[in-house]
Amino acid sequence: MEIKPLSSYQKFVMALLAITQFTVVLDFMVMSPLGDILMKSLEITPKQFGIAVSSYAFSAGISGLLAAGFADKFDRKKLLVFFYLGFIVGTFLCGIAPSYETLVAARIFTGIFGGVMGSISMAIITDIFELNQRGRVMGVVQMGFAASQVLGIPIGLYFANLWGWHAPFMMIVVLAVVIILVLIIKLKPVTAHLSEKNERNVWAHFRHVLLLKNYRIAFLSTALLSIGGYLMMPFGSAFAVNNLGVLQTELPLIFMLTGVSSLIFMPLVGKLSDRYDKFKIFAIGSVWAVIFTLIYTNLSVTPLYAIITLNILLFMGISSRMIPSATLTSAIPNLQDRGAFMSINSSLQQIAGGVATMLAGLIIVQKDKNSPLENYPVLGIIGSVFILMTVWFIYRVYRIVKNKEAQPN
């Protein structure tokens, strides 16, 4: 397949969305490496920590569902700026939260705005980039996930060790203020979808998008994808410290080296997704992820170099699933439905992640704040089952996309 080059403005949009996504992902991701610090400093249980993490996911999911009805009725740039501004305010509130209860409240507020950011970015990508360009774009935008590990999380942990767990949130606020100014000044309006005639009101539009069979298949595949990915992540740092023998000061190195490998690997997966069969890449990545999930979750005290190596191999499988699945899903909605579709899809992703995190908090047991986590291998088994189930549903999405491409314009 011939790869169509990107224009200079497309490259700018790709970079801008990537760094915007970096801050949103970092805000969510930083909770995991702070897990051990938060549980000890706030004296909370794994179940309470699971609530703190999932509160963001649930509020983000509900917000996305509420936003779906009007997501295709406004300039996507204006929506992006509005919700990003709310995200900045919410993250600032996290940075000044004095207690567990206020932190949970601040996470809920942040989720209301931050949870919609991904769907708006996806709608902008789908509007501006053609299908055979989106693998590269997804690869770069999804690098926000890897970049948060390379730069954000290690720096955030360093600041947390110096000034306490509030510091990483304030770091995100400072960076996000600079980004929103660039968004306002440099990003052009994204209004092509407004030219498509759509007389449905907000509720009718939401119901229309939610009830289409092809859309529902994509939504279900996204939810299953999220459950498989979220189960182990929130307790990853606590497992490393309390079960694998990792020092708190060694966590930044693990996240940084894993992130560096992802920065190298994710653009490669994006290019392969544009050139070769997206479903085959997803299926191979899924099998790879299951193998290393089962290995990693059954480890006991392990040398640091082995932990880093296994983390890198595991994230290679995860990124090989994220990019082709996101690219295929982006091809499902029609132009006039994209905003609503992406909002609902993102909402279900967040809600499924919240369910997975709460489930993990119920399964994980810790006798006291310094004892090993129990039942982590159980999370690995459940996660692997969901990873394999998702392969079938992504195959159905793949067939829908192929049939859609075969239809005459």
Distances (CA, A) of 62 to 67, 229, 350: 9, 20, 9
Residue with the larger pLDDT of the pair 137 and 303:
303
Q: How many CB atoms lie within 10 A of CB 89?
A: 14
Cα separation of the two ends of the chain = 20
Angle subtended by helix axes 131-141 and 8-29, to nearest 10: 40
- Considering Cα of 14, then 19, then 25, then 29, what sign does the dihedral take? positive
d(CA 154, CA 26): 11
- Per-residue pLDDT band for 191 (boundaries 50, 70, 90) equals confident
Residue with the larger pLDDT of the pair 247 and 347:
247
Query: pLDDT at residue 138 above 80?
Result: no
Predicted local confidence at residue 137, as pLDDT: 73
| Sequence-separated (6 or more) residues with CB below 8 Å from residue 101 | none
Query: pLDDT at residue 291 above 90?
Result: yes
Give pTM, 2 decimals. 0.68
Query: pLDDT at residue 31 above 60?
Result: yes
Do 105 and 218 meet the contact criterion of CB atoms below 8 Å apart? no
Q: What is the mean pLDDT of the chain?
A: 80
CATH of domain 10-406: 1.20.1250.20
Beta bridge partners of 365: 374
Domain residue limits, the chain: 10-406
What's the one-letter identity of residue 387?
I
Query: pLDDT at residue 18 above 70?
Result: yes
257-277 tens-digit pLDDT: 887 787 777 777 777 777 778
Predicted local confidence at residue 309, as pLDDT: 93
Predicted local confidence at residue 384, as pLDDT: 92
Query: pLDDT at residue 350 above 80?
Result: no
For the record, the structure tokens of 61 come out as 């999911």
Please choose, from the candidates 235, 228, 221, the residue with its C-alpha nearest in 3D space to the C-alpha of residue 383. 228
For the record, the structure tokens of 303 come out as 């040398």
d(CA 392, CA 282): 11
d(CA 54, CA 359): 10
Render 53-76 in DSSP notation, one character per residue. Answer: HHHHHHHHHHHHHHHHTTTTSS-H
